[in-house]
Homo-oligomer: A and B are copies of this chain.
């Protein structure tokens, strides 16, 4: 690994001159500049980030902490964060806490478990002197990741920050629920059942709010019995379909595609044609939604936009004056309806 010292020797100048040239800091004669840059190019010299970071106390590195890399939301979010940072000449460093591997699904609201792995992760990033930290949640909820007096710029991604000191970037679930319901209504449906997620889930709650809002705006009465809570799994779509169909709904809004598939299952088994007889809308735009027959109309999760937006905000945070302290905020990214063939006019 070639160093500035070696370059200096090869050029017959001092290391500070090399450093100055590389950083464009001071006036240097064009002659030496050329000579040095030539050697730098030839040798393929790369600065040592460790040494740089040590000296400058800032590294141009942005730390990313992910709750779980295997969550389907994580890779696309992280990918876009990395892309944006790369474009802006920042490096990234990723710490994967692997919560699911360690605790299955018992950690969502267990602060103790979370902090037992989060604290070392943060320490590591701090010790490495990252310029900022992005916390990428793997499960949407309100999460307490950073202490209120945290000194490094930090943003919470795909979950709501408990502390109002930190900006969160989240899915706009209320709008998502609203849009889907609105879409169904625009196709003439007025009796719309819902296969919701688990009742304690934030996504579930906000999407229901959106559903209510859309009904309200159209002056359609809201019937709480038509909200059926599932567990996000295919079978709970199957189970709740029966109830809703007996209630006489003309459309069913499922809060994920798997449960929508379960609704299809029930319909096929009972000679009801999805789409033609009863309309169905899903959520997530997972692979399965295009495989279903008829292909499922669903709401696409905006992971890429969430990633890009988060990185963008972080870099903005880093480049602002300390004085003008950007106020923390909750940034909501809308979903996009993917129209396929499971919703028909009534």
Contacts and interface: CB of A to CB of B under 8 A. Distances in A.
Nearest to A122: B46
A106 to B, nearest CB: 18
A123 B46 contact: yes
Nearest to A151: B1
Interface string A282-302: 000011100100000000000
Interface in A111-161: 123-124, 126-129
Nearest to A126: B1
Contacts of A79: 69-70, 96, 98, 101
Contacts of A261: 291
10 contacts: A44-B123, A46-B124, A46-B127, A48-B54, A49-B128, A50-B54, A69-B79, A70-B76, A286-B287, A287-B287
Given A69-B79, A70-B75, A101-B83, A47 B127 contact: yes
A101 B304 CA distance: 12
A292 to B, nearest CB: 9
A79 B261 CA distance: 29
A126 B96 CA distance: 22
Interface in A72-103: 74-76, 78-79, 82-83, 86, 91, 93-94, 96, 98, 101
Contacts of A101: 79, 83
A51 interface: yes
B78 A124 contact: no
A93 B96 contact: no
Nearest to A64: B94
A206 to B, nearest CB: 26
